[in-house]
Amino acid sequence: MRFTITHTDTNSLARVGEINTAHGAINTPCFMPVGTQASVKTLTNSLVEEQGAEIILANTYHLYLRPGHNIIAQLGGLHQFMRWQKPILTDSGGFQIYSLASLRKVTPAGVFFQSHIDGSSHLLSPELAIEAQCAFGVDIMMCLDECTPYPATSEQAEQSLTLTAQWAKRCKEAKGENPNALFGIVQGGMYPDLRRKSVASLLEIGFDGYALGGLSVGEPKELMKEMVETAAPMLPADKPRYLMGVGFPADIVHAVGNGIDMFDCVIPTRCARNGLLFTNEGNIAIGSSRYLKDKNPLDNTCDCYTCRNFSRAYLRHLYVSGEITAMVLNTIHNLRFYMRLMEGIRTAIKTGAFAELSNKFTQK
């Protein structure tokens, strides 16, 4: 993996770059649609690609349990298995196990957990997390980390970041000579001093890129912003910076202004399936009766298939009727909205208009 910065903003830490991988280039800042089980929900790969996605995220925890990393390896790796030929990033599975609080136990060796599918017992160690991701053959792998919950005491957060650093070192050792990229994950809860300590420990090990984890886990928005403002500028300028799981448009714009290059979140696809659609004029709850006779497209500025062809009235009809097509058309639009957002951010940075774009989002 190679990362090149091509443009920087004069009034912020925002930058435009390009990540080159064996499966193609990724223009940054970028948003990665979430394909948890080797599929972006409701869309075919061609539809995901049509919206402008250059990379997707898949989930190690789910694919390890079903169908299994060894089976995927036997079938040619994740790209061949799901027939997606652009770059893929896999998370380590740490966040999914974090969310299974009643089914897991964290130890220095790794995380003992019970499968949410059949109740079987497993130990996800740093070594196994890397073994699985190497078997998938993805372009960017993530270290196993312990996601610090919110709220957490300073002592709890420090214990978590210490364990995360120990696991990160083991992950890098387990990677060995595998040529694909490995990112370390910064933890430290909502404590600026611990965030700095976590960054320092990861820099000592050395990774191909760095991620901020343990955010958007229930903390107040301003506290999340403070952690981004604290930790992001400390990460190496010549490496990609990834903010994990944060995905509301205004939060993305704020994080880009603090030097973040990569984002992922289920928000655009999950909201689409639940009838919440993003537009330049604000969000639309398409199930509302106010759209019963509305002949307008969702967004007059949007070039997606949904907006080019269908009215709000029709989309409401599909949604309230429970038609599967509603989920497809809604997801196409929301995903395209996010891709257009990132395209607009990159253009604004290149043309010196990022401050204006950021102010508009702040006002909205």
Residues that are catalytic? 91, 264
Query: Could you tell me the CA-to-CA distances from 92 to 54, 111, 246 in Å, in that order?
Result: 20, 12, 17
What are the CA-CA distances from residue 41 to residues 48, 267, 332, 339 (Å)? 10, 12, 11, 17
Nearest to 234 by CA among 205, 190, 262, 193: 193
Cβ atoms of 140 and 178 within 8 Å: the answer is no
Residue in 286, 265, 281, 283 with CA at minimum distance from that of residue 329: 286
In the sheet with 241-243, reading across from the earlier edge strand, the strands are 30-32, 262-264, 241-243, 209-212, 181-186, 140-142, 88-91, 56-59
| 3-class secondary-structure state, position 147 | coil
